[in-house]
Amino acid sequence: MTIDRSIVGQEFDRTVFPPVTAEDIRTYASAYGETNPRWTTAADAELTAPPTFALCLRGNHFMPKQLPRNLGRSGFDAGKDIEMGVAVRPGDVLTGSSTVHDVYEKTGRSGTMTFIVFRTTVTNQRGEAVAVVDQKMMFR
Amino acid sequence: MILDLHAHSEASEDSRAPLETYLKWLQRKRDLLPIDGIVLTEHRQWDPKTDYRALEDRYGLLVLRGAEVETDYGHVLVYGVNDDITRRFDFTNVRLPAQEVITEVARLGGVAAPCHPGRPTIGLCQHYESKPPLEGVIAVEALNGGSRKGENERVQAIIDRYGYRAFGGSDAHLVSLIGICATEFEEEVRTVEDLVGALQRGRYRPIDFREQVRAAREGG
């Protein structure tokens, strides 16, 4: 599988999300059994989102249009790296900017694999970095 | 002198192990793992600027660097990487011609040695079933800490047949696996040049610490 590396660095999605609500934060926290009060039962003014909250954001495009259309049929999620920034609070308006961060090949016991790393940088309404999420997808 | 000749730090995309944590671990486990140093062999890359001398001094352990490249005969460890070698080969290419890597790395002052030869697809043994043997191989990683049952055992046949020397490495991607397989040298190794020379001279053997690590873990 050959993927044109000229797509690396190109922004393929920019999404401004609706303001984060206290309910959004509590729902996310409870979904994985979080019990820390600051992420669950704190008053709205004190509530902050768990550090991985940015993972629940879904932009308008998961992949750039330049990628082969049948890629999704042969790939799977190969993990995420998250660099966490400032805390998310109710009322924050988050923006996600997604780029192809890297494309590389590797060989393993099962053969040659192509990895694409999609990087989404999430900022809040003050332009502060909330998170940088590197989502790896593996294709063969 | 005992060195783990095959380890990956967080510089490799499939490892999360910081070098310093490896060194802390080895310092703490000194009684169990008498390792004098490690060789970082990151996947498909070489960064000439990294300098680990401060960490070496802090932990009293030798840290050398090589690389793990990918070829048409499987993965190959390259020791003694220099500018000539990185100009000659694109380490990100997963289809490097193995014969050229073996021959040219030797000509340019290094040693290229196939690793985990017993693994399917990326190990030398499987390729030898359908392709001619490589010329100029002096040693193979006969003992690899990341191999599955039966994979290390396959290697002895090509060692016997072709007279390769054998060495060992943990292939650690996780901190707790560093040093579980290694190489004992009869001579002192302090630099990459020493390592290349020692590998060429052949006075070393693979050494396996997996059983005693397992026993210590089970014993609490």
Domain spanning A5-19+59-139: CATH 3.10.129.10: yes
> What is the pLDDT confidence band of residue A70, given thresholds at 50, 70 and 90?
low
What local confidence, expressed as pLDDT, does residue A60 receive? 93
Instruction: Look up the pTM and report it.
Output: 0.89
What chain B holds in terms of domains, given with CATH numbers, is 2-218 (3.20.20.140)
Across the range A14-35, mean pLDDT stands at 96
Using the beta-carbon criterion (under 8 Å), do A104 and B75 form an inter-chain contact? no
Q: Identify the DSSP state of B134.
A: P
d(CA B21, CA B27): 10
Q: What is the pLDDT of residues B87-132, one digit of tens each?
A: 999 999 999 999 999 999 999 999 999 999 999 999 999 999 999 9
Q: How far is B210 from chain A (nearest CA, A)?
A: 22
Q: Name beta bridge partners: B2.
A: B184
Nearest CA in chain B to A113: B94
Nearest CA in chain A to B12: A106
Measured CA distances, B175 to A84, B22, B23 (Å): 23, 5, 9
The residue type found at B199 is L
d(CA B36, CA B216): 20
What local confidence, expressed as pLDDT, does residue A71 receive? 66
Judge whether A107 is closer than 8 Å to chain B, CB to CB: yes
d(CA B98, CA B112): 9
Residue ranges in chain B modelled with pLDDT below 50: none
What local confidence, expressed as pLDDT, does residue A64 receive? 85
What local confidence, expressed as pLDDT, does residue B220 receive? 61
Q: How far is B188 from chain A (nearest CA, A)?
A: 34
Across the range A67-80, mean pLDDT stands at 76
Cα A116 vs. chain centroid, distance in angstroms?
Answer: 14
| Share above pLDDT 90 across residues of chain A, in percent, rounded to a whole number | 74
Q: Identify the DSSP state of B123.
A: S
- Hunting for tokens 């959004």 — which residue is that? A24
Q: What is the pLDDT of residues A77-126, one digit of tens each?
A: 999 999 999 999 999 999 999 999 999 999 998 888 989 999 999 999 99
Measured CA distances, B65 to A65, B49, B92 (Å): 40, 11, 17
What local confidence, expressed as pLDDT, does residue A3 receive? 73
A contacts of B70 (beta carbons < 8 Å): 106-107
Q: Any idea where the domains of chain A sit in the sequence?
A: 5-19+59-139
Q: What does the mean pLDDT of chain B come to?
A: 96
Using the beta-carbon criterion (under 8 Å), do A112 and B120 form an inter-chain contact? no
Among A109, A135, A140, pick the best mutation site for testing chain B contact (most B Cβ within 10 A). A109
> What is the pLDDT confidence band of residue A1, given thresholds at 50, 70 and 90?
low
What local confidence, expressed as pLDDT, does residue A7 receive? 86
What local confidence, expressed as pLDDT, does residue A72 receive? 58
